[in-house]
Structure 1
Amino acid sequence: MKYLSICYIGFISLIFISGGLFIMSINFLLIDFSLFIEWEVVSLNSMSIVMAFLFDWMSLMFMSIVLLISSLVIYYSMEYMSEDKKINRFIMLVLMFVLSMMLLIISPNLISILLGWDGLGLVSYCLVIYFQNIKSYNAGMLTALSNRIGDVALLLAIAWMLNYGSWNYIFYIEMQKMDMEMFIIGGLITLAAMTKSAQIPFSAWLPAAMAAPTPVSALVHSSTLVTAGVYLLIRFNILLADTYLGQFLLFISGLTMFMAGLGANFEFDLKKIIALSTLSQLGLMMSILSMGFYKLAFFHLLAHAFFKALLFMCAGAIIHNMNDNQDIRMMGGLCVHMPMTSSCLNVANLALCGMPFLAGFYSKDLILETVSMSYINMFSFFLFFFSTGLTVCYSLRLVYYTMTGDLNCSSLNVLNDEGWIMLKGMLGLLVMSVLGGCMLNWLIFLTPSMICLPIYLKLLTLFVCLMGGMVGYFVSYVNLFFFNKSLYNNKIVMFIGSMWFMPYLSTYGVIFYPLFLGGYIVKSMDQGWSEYFGSQQLYKSLIKYSQINQIVQNNNLKIYLLLFVLWIIILLSLMLLM
């Protein structure tokens, strides 16, 4: 039982640290206090390497929630991964993952951010390929190579920051908003955040990363890897408000939100539906952030973390009981066989939809009302509200397929709620999914404010949610008629269901053809013409000249006579020319 002790130690220590950080964050928020710590690592002559940490209410609150979810995920893994002989390695990888995220959260410096950023990328690759098969390897490679684009953008931003004399970006953003240098840095940071948060055209890796174990998915999709990009842009939020960069990001993130919501309605893999819902919510966070409302984006980031981790944990418990079957068409009637897990799943689903007084309601309703009040065009307005309707649509579709009717699985399954450790982990997040939204709302928005809108705009959110829910449920209920319709339009359905062909574009357009072209260039240029005109030609010339030199070194009388005659001819030629 050695692994159990490691899990318990990790769980208890993370819970205590999380509680301490949360109390500190409330204290810092109330007294409006920030702590900037500089640690001189090395000092050599006039050069010093300094590590900087920024502790303010935002970083402390985010860290406390990441640690809370991580502790419950580790506790949940004690039972979920109990058959794994190498569970120690798994727990260590999860802890390294969380440590990388901590480093990223508290860094006001681009160099130390890169350490956490690359740590997340490396450990996520190790976790995605944890179940060692071809599918996992392909998914891991797609994840790693997609994220490398963002890593390169961050490296370029570090190079541009040299123009300011320091990499502590936190000091320069405010004063340099209109500066061209900072605009370029902002563009590079936005590109890095888009790859990490899987915005169009880098969306394909996020559903592919579902090859990782379900506890890892719960951690990655709630509060760590995919939220790193959003958090980085929250720190750089001044560069987005009322700029072309913000308008571009609003367009891209709005399309991502719409594309993911539409794709989830045509997906039958349980984990991929939840992954696409994460992508949709990331688009929502990015959209409101690009409009300049960074506190709202941060609020939704935290509230979303609770119910999304719970959704993945419930999905993991269901997959565990269904003998590793993830197809929702094979499920049904789970509310009879697994009432506790089904209740948790339904609460998380309702929180995702924005059901009043659950965690998602406080942030989503506030975001949509702020959008209604803001000065944006009709296209963006449509994307916000239609995507919200799509969220409720696929959530009710998921409930229909998994909860209602009879069990459709062909083999014998013993379905029950007897995974007590997994249930305890889920119940902790259930409480936060119910109470977390109002608690964070009262903490983050200390000053009361009121959004005054006409009655039709106030009720528009509720109307869109109800319409989306009705469409999702009834289309699934009478699916025979609509299924036949989708067969008639199979090309459109294939286009929508495959994320607008983005996986094909990512694998072939971003990975296969560039690598093939790179190999061709290496073969023809590096190992071809450049060898012929460069080192190989030099090598052949040296051989030829050394052979001539060798003949000269033989001390042959004929050679010396020949050289003497040549020297006389050259001398006579020069005399005649003069």
Structure 2
Amino acid sequence: MNVVSMVVLGVSSLCFGFGALLKLFSGTVDIVEWEFVSVNSSSIIFTLIFDWISLLFMSFVFLISSSVLYYSGSYMQADKSFNRFMYLVLAFVLSMMAMVMSPNLISILLGWDGLGLVSYALVIYYQNEKSANAGMLTVLSNRVGDVAILLSIGLMMSLGGWNFVVNSFYMSDGNWIFLKSLVLMAAMTKSAQIPFSAWLPAAMAAPTPVSALVHSSTLVTAGVYLMIRFSAALEGSKLQSVLLIISCLTMFMAGLGANFEYDLKKIIALSTLSQLGVMLSILALGYVNLAFFHLLSHALFKALLFMCAGVVIHSMGDSQDIRFMGGLVKFMPLSVSYMTIANLALCGFPFLAGFYSKDLLLEVAFLSWMNFIAFMLFVMATGLTVSYTMRLIYYSLSGTCNSSSLSNISDGDKVMMSSMSMLGLGAVTGGCLLSWLMFPECYMICMSPFMKMLVLMISVLGGVLGYFMNLLNVTSYLSSLSNYKIVVMAGSMWFMPFLSAVKNSEVAFISGSYMQKMGDKGWYEHFGAQGAYYFFSKGFNVVNSLQLNSVKVFMKVFIISVVVILFVYICLYNL
């Protein structure tokens, strides 16, 4: 089944890729609409858009999905529920397709909620307590964004339609600031920006192929993609500054946390979180095509990095702690080569995929009008990216082997190696190909020699600190009890998992008990079921007595009613 799915998705990727090229060179857009119902001159329409952005994005989604499914055929072969896993991944790909192809805020819910539901099912795939907690944190964090989308649908009704690609050009801050804030909140929850960042590392409880597909290149970039489509409404808005500072803080926080993490998959997850902050920050500065460029190139090498991590974890007997690795270059030369390529692409090493997007992105950001805090966060996040990458290389790839003497570590699986080779080729050549296609005319960038060399200097400094501080065991002193509070804060994502899970559950418990006492057992009983029961029982007694007491009661009631009416009439007449 996995081979058939891989072939179908691979062919679909080629078809979408050729379609994207045709749309890019011709400059045309095709829109298909089905009208379901019209309410108050607002038509509820299911819409599909076929332009170069949606087709190119789906081409990359299908390419990575085909590699991941073929990779899963070997990685998950011993799993009893392998077919269920495959169906869930295919359902995720279909949900992603529905989300990407829809420019309509109503029809986008089909893919948006589908992504949340399927990702929850994949996170809890290993049925244990840790996976259940991670899945609950994931789905509840994403429900905040879903509610924001639903509220946005109600607000957009006054525009006469829900096509946000068209209507976003007519949204000024004066009348539509609340709507734009809701859409921004939805994008922040799906792309795990502060304060919704805790769910992304927690979602690493899912199988590694799921992490390679869902939590590196597709699900988490859905928020970025939504903001790319909504970018016309963001231009000139006050929300640009808000998005810029939040995204810069996110990439700094994630880079700092990754330097204190020892779980291999969580380090890569925090790296993804950092790169999402980079995409949204450059989007906040107004460079939409650059954000989309980095989104696509990042998807290639980050999926490859997760797949390499999966091979390492598989060979290490399902151990994810990088302290028990080391010297893997001697045992797994091919896997380590791919992992090094992906790591160097992440750092922006020249002429790999990440270089073409990240270097251009940072230079354009340094040329833009941004405040000093955002500039410093950009610079420090760039250095931290190289720092945690070199730290990962020191602990896992180089040095001495720290695993058991009985470990069987090798590159023996040909299925995994062949699926990684496809993405390895993309991590090397994808950046330059995308650069030639999306930017046939070069950006004119004029910078001082210091600013031009700043990225290189920060990267070299971060790499030296990341490698040699661990080599000289300086980090052991930094992590000692004397610096316990600082290390815990930096390594725990600024207490966000604690605030998202423990404190929210405490608040929910206290408010829930109060609502039960005052509501369910209090006023709701008086005005709800018990009050209705008392009112209807008294009314039924009156009706019953009227039915059983025949004419006398009717005459009495009639005479009393006539007397009362006459009395009221005389009083009003005398007034």
Q: TM-score range by the shorter chain?
A: over 0.9
1:353 is aligned to 2:347: yes
* TM-score under structure 1 length normalisation: 0.92
Give the Cα–Cα distance (whole angstroms) in 1 for the partners of residues 44 and 283 of structure 2: 33
Cα 1:541–1:487 shift into 2, 3 Å:
same
Q: Which residue of 2 aligns with 1:531?
A: 525
Q: Which residue of 1 aligns with 2:428?
A: 434
Q: How does 1:95-494 map to 2 (within 5 A)?
A: 95-174=90-169, 176-178=170-172, 180-410=174-404, 412-479=406-473, 482-483=476-477, 486-494=480-488
Give the Cα–Cα distance (whole angstroms) in 1 for the partners of residues 105 and 547 of structure 2: 62
Give the Cα–Cα distance (whole angstroms) in 2 for the partners of residues 160 and 552 of structure 1: 52
Cα 1:298–1:546 shift into 2, 3 Å:
closer
Give the Cα–Cα distance (whole angstroms) in 2 for the partners of residues 66 and 493 of structure 1: 37
Q: Which residue of 2 aligns with 1:3?
A: none
Q: In structure 2, what residue type is equivalent to 1:146?
A: S
Give the Cα–Cα distance (whole angstroms) in 1 for the partners of residues 244 and 413 of structure 2: 43
Q: In structure 1, what residue type is equivalent to 2:386?
A: V
Q: In structure 2, what residue type is equivalent to 1:366?
A: L
Aligned-pair CA distance for 1:517:
1.3
Q: In structure 1, what residue type is equivalent to 2:390?
A: L
Write out per-residue CA displacement over residues 498-554 of structure 1, whole angstroms, 9 at most, x where no aligned residue: 000000100133344225413430342133222134431342455567678889999
Aligned-pair CA distance for 1:52:
1.4
Find the residue that maps to 1:406 and give its secondary structure: coil
Cα 1:499–1:47 shift into 2, 3 Å:
closer
* TM-score under structure 2 length normalisation: 0.92
Aligned-pair CA distance for 1:483:
2.9
Cα 1:441–1:548 shift into 2, 3 Å:
closer
Q: How does 1:22-41 map to 2 (within 5 A)?
A: 22-40=17-35
Query: Residue 173 of structure 1 contacts residue 238 of structure 1 at CA under 8 Å; is this kept in 2?
Result: yes
Cα 1:540–1:28 shift into 2, 3 Å:
closer
Aligned-pair CA distance for 1:159:
0.5
Give the Cα–Cα distance (whole angstroms) in 2 for the partners of residues 20 and 549 of structure 1: 74
Query: Residue 222 of structure 1 contacts residue 306 of structure 1 at CA under 8 Å; is this kept in 2?
Result: no
Q: In structure 1, what residue type is equivalent to 2:315?
A: N
The root-mean-square deviation of aligned C-alpha atoms, in Å, is: 2.6
Find the residue that maps to 2:121 and give its secondary structure: helix
Unaligned runs of 5+ in 2: none
Find the residue that maps to 1:364 and give its secondary structure: helix
Give the Cα–Cα distance (whole angstroms) in 1 for the partners of residues 506 and 160 of structure 2: 39
Aligned-pair CA distance for 1:167:
0.9
Find the residue that maps to 1:415 and give its secondary structure: coil
Aligned-pair CA distance for 1:487:
2.5
Give the Cα–Cα distance (whole angstroms) in 1 for the partners of residues 171 and 59 of structure 2: 31
Write out per-residue CA displacement over residues 311-359 of structure 1, whole angstroms, 9 at most, x where no aligned residue: 1000000000111100000101100011111111111000000000000
Give the Cα–Cα distance (whole angstroms) in 1 for the partners of residues 319 and 413 of structure 2: 17
Aligned-pair CA distance for 1:26:
1.1
Write out per-residue CA displacement over residues 283-309 of structure 1, whole angstroms, 9 at most, x where no aligned residue: 000000001001100000000000100
Give the Cα–Cα distance (whole angstroms) in 2 for the partners of residues 379 and 48 of structure 1: 45
Count the aligned residue pairs: 561
Q: Which residue of 2 aligns with 1:15?
A: 10
Aligned-pair CA distance for 1:372:
1.4
Query: Residue 43 of structure 1 contacts residue 49 of structure 1 at CA under 8 Å; is this kept in 2?
Result: yes
Write out per-residue CA displacement over residues 132-185 of structure 1, whole angstroms, 9 at most, x where no aligned residue: 0011011000000000000000001110110111111222222x1425343322
